[in-house]
A and B are shown apart, each in its own frame.
Chain A
Amino acid sequence: MLETTSVGSFPKPDYLVRARNAVSKGEASPESLRPLEEQATREWIRIQEDLGVDILVHGEMERGDMTTFFAEQLDGYGVSGLVRSYGNRYYRKPIIQERLARPHAMTVDFYRWTQSLTARPVKGMLTGPYTMCDWSFDEFYASRRDAVLALAEIVHQEVRDLEEAGARYIQIDEPAISTRPAEIDLAIEAMGIVTDGIRATTISHICYGDFARIYPRILDLPVDVLDLEFANSQFANLEIFRRPKFTRKISVGVIDVHSHRVESVREVKDAIKRALTVFDPEQVWIDPDCGLKTRTVPEAIDKLRVMVEATREVKRELGLA
């Protein structure tokens, strides 16, 4: 009840940013990054434990973009030049050039190693097939449906391997799912392939879209927890979920990840209580709106601290602790 967690990414410490820049300029080998990624991951695991977060994430120190990271490991993908996504932020948008295949597990080793650092559960973190397709150029498949379903099979293989490696929570991010309401059936069908036969708790993160266009259909997405952003829009989209009543578990974003300002505990408590006017406490997890990787390390830590403290106070006040 009111478990705290994070969506996925954390900011990379300066030493890792510098090392990644050196690799991208060809001044260092990609293999040189691994010890630094492990060091940064250890630090983030310790930070989350110290703050008292319930369900941890590994922080994605080894990843750049959430699509490109997977595309670089799959057969059939190439990577394009830079494309702008927001403000002055760019990513190398992948290109599907041939039939897609997964030559090896992509996240399992790092997941297993990270989980060994802590007794608390760490989420397995993946990008869903609909978003992988939507955020790629496709020069191979005859239709978006063909591409999405091919990716669904690949993501399913990764989910299955994560579960076999012991993951109790597996998050399959689908931020693009609200983009085209006409394709919601395809996104649901694809997620059905991804989570087929999986017993781990599955989560899907969706953000920065128009939820009204996909509600209540999104309740049919076959995952256990839907993770949605609310703080960014000052909870203006909360009312959507009142009728018909939201029937799944929900991870409620209460921290704006695109603001340097650190929210006050009172502010976050108010946000949680507002969410509880729509959702039952048993349904609710608490987290930031999205990955915190665009914040500075101190900002991210402060935002997490406020989130955990506010959640504890609300639980105490409501007798849920």
Chain B
Amino acid sequence: MSERLFAPLLVGNQPKIFDDRRRAGAEFNLRLARNRLDKGAITPAEFEQVVERTIKGVVDDQIACGFGRVTDGRIRWDDPVTPFAAAHDGFAIGGLIRFFDNNVYYRRPTISGPVRFVRSAVIDDFRLLRRLSDHPVMPSVCGPYSLARFCIDENYGGRKALYDDCARLVRGELEALAAAGADWVQLDEPFLSVHPEDAGVAVDAINAAISGVGVKTFVFTYFGSLAPVAERIWDINAQALGADCVTAPENFDILQRGPRTLGRAFGLVDARSTRMESPDWLQQRLDTLADAGAAHWPVCWITPSAALEFLPYKNAIAKMRLIGEAVAQFAPARIEETV
């Protein structure tokens, strides 16, 4: 529920290490806790306490910055794919590869057998987030097209069955979240803009996962331009669509052209640079969206362009504060999330 014309929202991972005096102790130091867990110096239960404190800290930071709908900052995730590869059948965790054009690396899964849903990879974290916050929440999952593209396919030969099975897996995650009471779920689809030649396959897979699933879905694309896939993205049956408008500034205009019934998320603030945008510049961007009819869209989220984990903690907080303050200039407004 939002009472404002614009609402701030996070996408992707948050920094996992706090860098402030309030939370300087070992009980908040997730990095140290992981090292200690690996060495057997603390128990899994003690480690879990640090995880929960960290997620609570991430939630508190969002609320302090004016974010009404909160995420868990994906504190438990190193990347958007390996949590799913570890939880479900058909995957083996493989060698290191760079995560898009960032100096961040993940272990690229190999699809070595039929992809099958086993047990939700995210439901426990969703319940934890609900327990830690009385604000509306936004859990997230890897979208079906990107789930397939993140992996090396050794089982399907790239055939349609690969995307069908990945869609069924993601649908299983969405159904679990819907049954647990989620109202919105974010899907990451960073590969959508990287492989425009696959736009049809990607849109079909996304729709197979989300259509009629009983929870509102928000697809965010990250890093690339929507221009090569602009003909197809409006066929996605999601209730909201969002994109990085920093790496690809044209996305700011493209997203405005969607149907009125579609919610939007504009990744306006650069999540990969410590250089700060000016409040005036951001205000002008929001003025443009207001003039474009944002009041008629079911929701208009203002987000960082990607995961703020690409920044040190202090810079991430500064970017969140910038978004929160810019959005607050437009309160009160007159729309609610009524998709």
Q: Which positions in A face B, CB cutoff 8 Å? A: 80-88, 90, 93, 95, 134-135, 137-139, 176, 178-180, 208-210, 232-234, 236, 256, 258
The distance in angstroms between the C-alpha atoms of A83 and B272, with both chains bound, is 11
Contact status of A138 and B312, CB under 8 A, knowing A85-B103, A88-B35, A232-B96: no
Those of B25-83 within 8 Å (CB) of chain A: 31, 34-35, 38, 78
* CB closest residue in chain A, given B312: A81
Inter-chain CA distance A206–B61, complex, in Å, is 38
Known: A87-B78, A179-B98, A233-B95. 11 other contacts (CB 8 A): A80-B274, A81-B312, A82-B31, A83-B15, A85-B105, A86-B104, A139-B274, A180-B101, A208-B97, A232-B96, A256-B95
Is the beta-carbon distance between A236 and B275 smaller than 8 angstroms? no
Which residues of chain B from 256 to 280 have a CB within 8 Å of any chain A CB?
A: 273-275
Whether the Cβ atoms of A86 and B105 lie closer than 8 Å is: yes
Does B152 sit within 8 A of A, measured CB to CB? yes
- What residues of chain A lie closer than 8 Å to B309, measured between beta carbons? 83-84
B273 contacts A176, CB within 8 Å? no
Asked if B16 is an interface residue, CB under 8 A from chain A, the answer is: yes
CB distance from A25 to the nearest CB of B (A): 13
Q: Which of B197-218 contact A (CB under 8 A)?
A: none
Q: Are A208 and B19 in contact (CB under 8 A)?
A: no
Q: Please pick, from A83, A209, A258, the residue contacting B310 in the complex, using a CB distance under 8 A.
A: A83
Q: A85-B104, A137-B274 are in contact. Are A90 and B31 (CB under 8 A)?
A: yes
* A275 to B46 CA separation, bound complex (whole angstroms): 47
Contact with A along B113-125 (1 / 0, CB 8 A): 0000000000000
- Chain B interface: which size bin? 20 to 34
- Contact residue among A83, A90, A208 (Cβ-Cβ distance under 8 Å from B96): A208
Main secondary structure of the interface of B (DSSP, over half): mixed
A93 / chain B contacts, CB cutoff of 8 Å: 103, 312
Give complex CA distance A233, B94 in Å: 8
| Best-buried of B16, B103, B105, B106 by chain A (most CB within 10 Å) | B103
Query: Does B232 interact with chain A (Cβ within 8 Å)?
Result: no
B314 at the interface (CB under 8 A from A): yes
In the complex, A209→B95 CA distance in Å? 11
Secondary structure dominating the interface of A = mixed
A279 to B140, CA, bound (A): 45
**Within the assembled complex, what's the spacing in Å between the Cα atoms of A84 and B38?**
18
* Complex partner residue of A82 from B78, B98, B103, B312, CB under 8 angstroms: B312
Complex-state Cα separation, A134 to B104, whole angstroms: 12
CB-CB < 8 A to B330: which residues of A?
A: none
* Mask: chain B, 287-326; 1 = CB below 8 Å from A; 0 = not: 0000000000000000000000111111100000000000
Q: Which of A95, A179, A258 contacts B101 (CB 8 A)?
A: A179
Closest residue of chain A to B309 (Cβ to Cβ) is A84
Which B residues are CB-close (under 8 A) to A258?
95-96
For A208, what are the chain B residues with a Cβ–Cβ distance below 8 Å? 96-98, 105
Contact A138 B315 (CB under 8 A): no
Nearest CB on B from A154, distance (A): 20
Known: A90-B31, A139-B274. A80 touches B315 (CB 8 A): yes
Q: Which residues of A contact B230 (CB under 8 A)?
A: none
Flag if B105 contacts A83 (CB, 8 Å).
Answer: no
Known: A85-B103, A90-B17. A209 touches B98 (CB 8 A): yes
A137–B103 touching, CB < 8 Å: no
* Closest residue on chain A to residue B152 by CB atoms: A236
Nearest B residue (CB) for A183: B101
**Known A208-B96, A256-B95: A88·B34 in contact at CB below 8 Å:** yes
B94 to chain A, nearest CB (A): 8
How many whole Å from B308's CB to the nearest CB in chain A?
Answer: 11
> Interface centre among B152, B273, B274, by most A CB within 10 Å?
B274
15 pairs, A vs B, C-beta closer than 8 Å: A81-B314, A83-B15, A84-B15, A84-B17, A84-B104, A85-B104, A86-B105, A90-B31, A93-B312, A95-B274, A134-B103, A135-B103, A137-B273, A139-B275, A208-B105
Contacts of B311 in A (CB 8 A): 83
Chain A residue, CB-CB nearest to B16: A84
Are A83 and B35 closer than 8 Å at their CB atoms?
Answer: no
